[in-house]
Amino acid sequence: MPCFSQKGSLNKQYKILYTIGQGGFGYVQLALHRRTGVAVAIKVVENVKKHLRLVLSEIAALETMRHPHIIRLFQVLTTTKYCYIITEYVPGGNLYQLVKEEGRLQEGHAQVIFGQLVSAIRCCHDHDIVHRDLKPPNILLDAHGNVKLGDFGLATMCGAGTVLYGCCGTKTYNAPEMVLREGYDGKKADVWSLGVLLYFITTGHHPFRGSTLEETEKKITIGMYNIPAHISGQLENLIHQILTVALERRPSIEDLQHHPWVKNPEENISSDPYPDPKIVDKLFDHGFAANEIFDSLQKRKYDEIMGTYLLLQEQEHQGLDSTSSFTTADPGPAPPPSPVPPLTSGRYLKRRASEPTFGLLHTRPSQQHLPDVLTLSGQKINRSVSMPLWCSQKKSPTSSHAPLTKAASAPCVYHSRVEEEMPLPPGPDSNMEKSCLPQTIECFRGLCRRIRVCLSRLCYFPWASNPQTGRVFNTKVAPLKESGGRRSKE
């Protein structure tokens, strides 16, 4: 479960545009993330006891699963009155609107939609999560017409052999065992709801229709429905299998994926590193401190920091230019920049002398699946202010680069002497310092010569010899004709 964040204000992080719709226990708003400019959907739920279980169920389900056809959770923010669940914005409406506006779907189109939905439910069931409210209004469509399964307020855990009780969801999509108020298998109940949904999108109406609720429930319990003539043989066979009243003969979600009518999607489930050093580097640009970043990502708090991280990650997946969004989006009142130790190449951020180096950056926690992001090649650390300058830089003259190495048990403490003795990694940075070394040494020696000559003349040191000629200076002080330590001729 994520840790709810009570810091900051919703309006400081998001620019609310307008209300999209209203659900059973809240309403949804369209908003823009001020830091990245990404559009998000914000479900607003009043903080009352009767809504608490629904809110916790939805958050627990969304933060557990990562699937291309399941709505993605970005952030959870709470105040004294409301809970805000920030998820990805899906602009294509829902499946109910699509069928009502365009009529029943052609089988080719229905195959794509249903295959993506079966894949999403398979992911839920693999995590022992049952949705229990599968219906067309909860099946969202993105800009390309792909499925995004949402509204997990009635979701619950249902492992093998678990028997659930209590009727929930929409009556016309409930399985017969739920209508009869019997104990039921949540996964098999989801499969039944999928069958009703499949019938609806391919015919344009519900399979079980009665003049009263009692008549509708009776048809559900006995499985009485008609198949229109335009339905193909394979689709009819699939509907008959799913809408099987006998629980033991009803197929599982895995069985549906192997049916010849079901078109399984080619999914590209990303396996990005967590945390991604490049995205963490961008979080530094927004002023977040290193210890706060890694505490949020390690504990999966779904607070402002993790929300920004996930939105930046979403930008990369969609191929958006995150750099341009930094400059064009309304940043709002951003938090002040905090001194942080460097994480990725190209960043040279200083750390306060009193602030210890964050140990998480150096060793991997034993109970977390966080990669050691600092062992990548090309990582840089800052040289201490007291260290001598060996290679001049145009923009950062006090910087020097050395690679970080991973120690099994040593604390993450760096000393200027250790940094000085660490070898340079092979690569362009090493070649740069090697090429500028002779010129730098010569400049350093010239500076030493000028200092020695000036000191010898000011203090009347007759024994101070010229490092170039070896001659002894007299005790007369003469003005310098030019820099470089040479005396003007008398």
CATH number at residue 39: 3.30.200.20
Do 253 and 275 lie in a common domain?
no
Q: How far is CA 28 from CA 12, 31, 32, 72, 182, in A?
A: 18, 10, 13, 15, 34
Q: What is the pLDDT of residue 160?
A: 83
List strand residue ranges (DSSP E) for 166-276, in order.
none
CA–CA–CA angle 389, 395, 400 (5° rounding): 35
Q: What is the pLDDT of residue 254?
A: 95
Burial 161-196 (b: 16+ CB within 10 A, else e): eeebeeeebeebbbbbbbbeeeebbbbbbbbbbbbb
Q: What is the pLDDT of residue 23?
A: 67
Q: What is the pLDDT of residue 50?
A: 87
Do 154 and 246 lie in a common domain?
yes
State which amino acid sits at residue 191. V
- With a CB cutoff of 8 Å and minimum separation 6, the contacts of 420 are 383, 387
Do 236 and 121 lie in a common domain?
yes
What is the number of structural domains in the chain? 3
Taking phi over 0 as left and psi of -120 to 50 as alpha, with beta for the rest, 289 belongs to beta
Do 112 and 251 lie in a common domain?
yes
**Which residues, listed in sequence order, are joined to residue 285 by a DSSP beta bridge?**
none
Dist. CA 400–CA 449, nearest whole Å: 25
User: CB of 86 within 8 A of CB of 44?
Assistant: no
Decide: helix, strand or coil at residue 139: strand
Do 79 and 99 lie in a common domain?
no
Phi/psi of residue 150, nearest 5 degrees: -135, -170
User: Is 283 a member of any domain?
Assistant: yes
The token pair that represents 116 in the structure block: 């993506």
Report how far Cα 477 is from the mean position of its chain's Cα atoms. Answer: 70
User: CB of 5 within 8 A of CB of 76?
Assistant: yes
The token pair that represents 341 in the structure block: 């130790």
Do 291 and 142 lie in a common domain?
no
Q: What is the pLDDT of residue 13?
A: 94
CA dihedral 66, 135, 96, 260 (to 10 degrees): 70
Q: How far is CA 225 from CA 173, 200, 222, 386, in A?
A: 13, 12, 9, 83
User: Is 476 a member of any domain?
Assistant: no
Burial 299-331 (b: 16+ CB within 10 A, else e): eebbbbbbbbbbbbbbbeeeeeebeebbeebee
What is the DSSP code string of 376-404? STT---PPPTTSPP-S--SS-TT------
State which amino acid sits at residue 408. A
Q: What is the pLDDT of residue 21?
A: 86
User: Is 164 a member of any domain?
Assistant: yes
DSSP at 71: P
Do 236 and 384 lie in a common domain?
no
Q: What is the pLDDT of residue 252?
A: 95
For the entire predicted model, the pTM comes to 0.65
Do 100 and 224 lie in a common domain?
yes
For the chain, 490 residues long, give each residue's pLDDT as a single digit of tens.
Answer: 454 444 457 999 999 999 988 866 789 999 999 999 999 999 999 999 888 889 999 999 999 999 999 999 999 999 989 999 999 999 999 999 999 999 999 999 999 999 999 999 999 999 999 999 999 999 999 999 999 999 999 999 988 888 998 888 899 999 999 999 999 999 999 999 999 999 999 999 999 998 999 999 999 999 999 999 999 999 999 999 999 999 999 999 999 999 999 998 887 666 677 889 999 999 999 899 999 999 999 999 999 999 999 999 988 877 655 443 333 344 444 444 434 334 333 333 434 444 443 333 333 333 433 333 333 333 443 433 333 434 334 444 433 333 433 333 333 333 333 333 334 344 444 444 444 455 556 556 666 666 766 665 565 544 444 444 444 444 444 454 444 444 444 4
CATH number where 159 lies: 1.10.510.10
Domain end point (choices 383, 399, 425):
425
Other beta carbons within 10 Å of 86: 25
Known catalytic residues are 133
User: CB of 257 within 8 A of CB of 122?
Assistant: yes
User: Is 130 a member of any domain?
Assistant: yes
Dist. CA 437–CA 418, nearest whole Å: 20
Domain that holds residue 18: 10-89+270-328
State which amino acid sits at residue 144. H
Do 360 and 403 lie in a common domain?
yes
Q: What is the pLDDT of residue 227?
A: 95
Do 104 and 222 lie in a common domain?
yes
User: CB of 197 within 8 A of CB of 139?
Assistant: yes
User: CB of 121 within 8 A of CB of 194?
Assistant: yes
Q: Which residue has the tokens 């120690």?
A: 407
User: Is 30 a member of any domain?
Assistant: yes
Dist. CA 3–CA 307, nearest whole Å: 12
